[in-house]
Amino acid sequence: MTASQEKVKVQYDDQIVRMFFHATLFWAFAAFTAGVWIAFELAVWQLNLNTEWLTFGRLRPLHTNAAIFAFAGNAIFAGIYHSSQRLLKTRMFSDMLSKIHFWGWQLIILAAAITLPLGFTQSKEYAELEWPIDIAVTLIWVIFAINFFGTLARRREKHMYVAIWFYIATIVTVAVLYIVNNIALPTSIAHSYPVYAGIQDALVQWWYGHNAVAFFLTTPFLGLMYYYVPKAANRPVYSYRLSIIHFWALIFIYIWAGPHHLLYTALPDWAQTLGMIFSIMLWAPSWGGMINGLLTLRGAWHLLRTDPVIKFMVAALTFYGMATFEGPLLSIKSVSALGHYTDWIVGHVHAGTLGWNGFLIFAMIYYLVPKLWKTELYSKKLATTHFWIGLLGTLLYYISMVVAGITQGGMWRAVNEQGQLVYPDFVETVTRIVPLYYVRGIGGALYLIGFLLLLYNVYKSISMATEKPTDEVAEVINTNVKSEDIGTGHRKLEGMATAFTVLTLIAILVGSVIEIIPTLSLHKYVRNDVQVEPWTPLELAGRDIYVREGCYTCHSQMIRKMPSEVLRYGPASTIEESMYNRPFQWGSKRTGPDLARVGGKYPVTWHYRHMINPREIVKDSIMPNYPWLATEKIDYYALRKKLSIMKYLGVPYDDDTVANADLVAGRQAQEIADGLIEFGAPEEVRNKEIIALISYLQALGQKGGLSEEDKEGGSE
């Protein structure tokens, strides 16, 4: 052992941590501002300034991507680079790779910030970025992985601490999720169709979507929690055994939970039930992390009164516990029936993101500033004020959205003694909750104001530093040597990075394979006697416009298997109805009504006037105006390529239609335009995008896909 007792000097790369730290602050501001803006857009639609780039449908993906990948992402990287070097007693594997990782990531975010408002989107939530950016994300993630695992290989600490386990799970799983969910065939540099269709696409997307929450907003944060909480409180971690059990249980179970986003839909029952039960089993493993964090702080409670860092940490862990209790609750079928598609879900997410992710990041920032810049925190009082304002903002946000969600959900499902909907008019259920949209916006604004206090505090703290920031040098003992006793059981595994990583990969693949593989053979679920027509070329063009405008951020296209839905919208949606749909458009939020069967409900002139100005038809509508659709031209020339790719993916178009896609579309457009002009639309409307969109809206629910029995399940 003597040789290993010798001390070695290590210089940590703190510069890269400071870079990610700055990026976190910069993008936090962007993400929060976008969030507050779109929150108010739902109350006052005119805030989009009547420009296409700022409409809710395009800005919402910008907000979610900025919050997740830019704000949380940069914070995760800052924390991982800072803590891993110290836990592994070595500098990062390669400074060059660190820099490429940093700049590559910022460029990706910039590309997202430009392309999303322009309407380049795959429309899969948190996976909206188009294929060239996806490839860039994958490459940068691989670079991060090489850098991290290289560091792990060079570690001077035999055993890996629990934080490192969570980082490993994050890096491995995000890679798998991101690649599988984004497999698509390009039709141009800025557009693609996913290889999955209908229920496959829905399942893969929500397997991804839910695990973006799990492996981007949970596991890395638990890792950060396991480093910064004991450090800040100077207390030992409460239970090593609990760390082991809840780590493995969490990553194994989480990956199955995705289908809880699809309860009562056309997804086969078995997959829905798996999603529900694994969500319920997830409750204890999630709380394992909260308990271990809070009990670590046991004995440091006096700091709660004086130290803003501890305040933020305790609140973060409490919100984590709250959100991970509410999650399983919302996954119970009957609760989902009420909460799904409503603002309750939005509130639930923000308890997690504002309360857990945001507050833990703020704690980390206040903890790191003095360390990274060798200075003092400028004002504890200001940080405490930030805490209270942020807490008030989060609570206002959460409570207003839960109340809005339960109110609206209750109105949607209310059926009276005569067997009729009590609130048949959808917009009635919207006007009821608009006041709560203001409250939510105010909550968000408070959160943003709190963050501005942090910015000022950080700025003042850094300007108080007397010397230039440097890289910390530490003297460490190398314990990663052959002679070291490696231990037995799990302890032994903690010394074996490769084996640990492989086991992690297996743990997350089990649930993924069991859920996804069966639905890949879609034909097994499709009934032979039910006919479905593919979209006509013009309807497909309209569908792509629907995707581009982000209509799915407000409208679902999935009538759930619930009586109130059948009364309101018609027979429940079937698997066959979406079998040619790439990407699927089931949506996750009904700010407006479901559109799965809107085709034929109104005449074309209704849609024309409604799209130009919804309030002309429905006085209290909060849907934005889309006047530019009547001035932008349909891209007929792209259609041949689009149809040929659809055909390649198995959609039954005949060769003639593919070869003449533009002409076929042109003819259909002319018919619709004639009808509109007859009722007073201007002649210029010909060949404009609004025609394609209307053709799509009028085709919704009109393409077959229902058996005779299905139709009887209808409202008539």
Partner 1 sequence: MSDTDKDKLTDHEYDGIKELDNPLPGWWLATFYITIVFSIVYYAYYELGSGPSLDQELQTKLEKIEEKQNQAEMKQPDPGNVDYSQLLADNEALATGKDIYMQKCAACHGAQNQGVIGPNLTDNYWLNGKGTIADIAHVIVVGVPENGMPPWKGMIKDEDIPKVAAYIKSKVGSSPAGAKAPQGELIEE
- Pick from 203, 697, 699, 706 the residue near ligand HEC by CB under 6 A: 697
Closer to ligand HEC by Cβ: residue 151 or 591:
591
Closer to ligand HEC by Cβ: residue 160 or 551:
551
Three-state SS at 589: strand
- Pick from 315, 579, 623, 658 the residue near ligand HEC by CB under 6 A: 623
Three-state SS at 393: helix
The distance of closest approach from Cβ of residue 356 to partner 1 in the complex, given in angstroms and rounded to an integer, is 19
Site mask for partner 1 (CB under 8 A), range 58-97, x = bound: -------------------------x--xx-x--------
Whole-number Å distance between alpha carbons of 38 and 50: 13
- Pick from 95, 533, 616, 684 the residue near partner 1 by CB under 8 A: 616
Dihedral sign, Cα of residue 138, residue 139, residue 141, residue 146: positive
Residue 549's binding partner, choosing from ligand HEC, partner 1, none, with beta-carbon cut-off 5 to 8 A by kind?
ligand HEC
Whole-number Å distance between alpha carbons of 204 and 201: 5
Residue 218: phi, psi to the nearest 5?
A: -120, -65
Residue 120: phi, psi to the nearest 5?
A: -85, 110
Closer to partner 1 by Cβ: residue 371 or 380:
371
Q: How far is CA 415 from CA 47, 333, 567, 601, in A?
A: 36, 19, 9, 22
Q: Which residue has the tokens 């579309």?
A: 665
Q: How far is CA 448 from CA 46, 350, 682, in A?
A: 22, 14, 45
Closer to partner 1 by Cβ: residue 654 or 709:
709
- Pick from 236, 652, 682, 704 the residue near partner 1 by CB under 8 A: 236
The distance of closest approach from Cβ of residue 602 to ligand HEC in the complex, given in angstroms and rounded to an integer, is 5
Count other Cβ atoms within 10 Å, centred on residue 562. Answer: 17
Query: Contact between 430 and ligand HEC (CB under 6 A)?
Result: yes
Q: What is the largest CA-CA distance in the chain?
A: 94
Query: Contact between 411 and ligand HEC (CB under 6 A)?
Result: no
Whole-number Å distance between alpha carbons of 260 and 210: 9
* Cβ atoms of 146 and 154 closer than 8 Å: no
Q: Using the rule CB under 8 A, give the single segment among 168-176, 444-452, 564-572, 658-666 that binds partner 1.
A: 564-572
Which residue, among 346, 457, 465, has the nearest Cα to 399 in the 3D structure?
Answer: 346
Query: Contact between 557 and ligand HEC (CB under 6 A)?
Result: no
Count other Cβ atoms within 10 Å, centred on residue 635. Answer: 17
Residue 363's binding partner, choosing from ligand HEC, partner 1, none, with beta-carbon cut-off 5 to 8 A by kind?
none
User: Do the strands 7-11 and 473-477 form a parallel or antiparallel pair, or are they unpaired?
Assistant: antiparallel
- Listing DSSP states for 146-211 in one string gives HHHHHHHHT-S-SSPPHHHHHHHHHHHHHHHHHHHHT-EEEEETTEEEES--HHHHHHHHHHHHHH
Site mask for ligand HEC (CB under 6 A), range 511-550, x = bound: -----------------------------------x--x-
Whole-number Å distance between alpha carbons of 426 and 412: 8
Closer to partner 1 by Cβ: residue 531 or 715:
715
Site mask for partner 1 (CB under 8 A), range 300-339, x = bound: ----------------------------x-----------
Q: Using the rule CB under 8 A, give the single segment among 208-216, 443-451, 514-522, 601-609 that binds partner 1.
A: 601-609
Residue 633: phi, psi to the nearest 5?
A: -85, 145
Closer to ligand HEC by Cβ: residue 450 or 550:
550
Q: Using the rule CB under 6 A, give the single segment among 66-74, 176-184, 601-609, 668-676 that binds ligand HEC.
A: 601-609
The distance of closest approach from Cβ of residue 707 to partner 1 in the complex, given in angstroms and rounded to an integer, is 11
* Cβ atoms of 23 and 108 closer than 8 Å: no
Task: Annotate 16-38 with b (16+ C-beta within 10 A) or e (fewer).
Answer: bbbbbbebbbbbbbbbbbbbbbb
Site for partner 1, rule CB under 8 A: 83, 86-87, 89, 157, 159, 161, 227, 230-231, 235-243, 245, 249, 264, 269-270, 272-274, 276-278, 280-281, 283-285, 287-288, 291, 295, 299, 328, 415, 417-421, 424-425, 561-563, 566-567, 572, 600-603, 605-606, 609, 616-619, 679-680, 713, 715
Site for ligand HEC, rule CB under 6 A: 56-57, 426-427, 430, 546, 549, 551, 553-555, 591-593, 595, 598, 601-603, 606, 614, 618, 621-624, 626, 693, 697
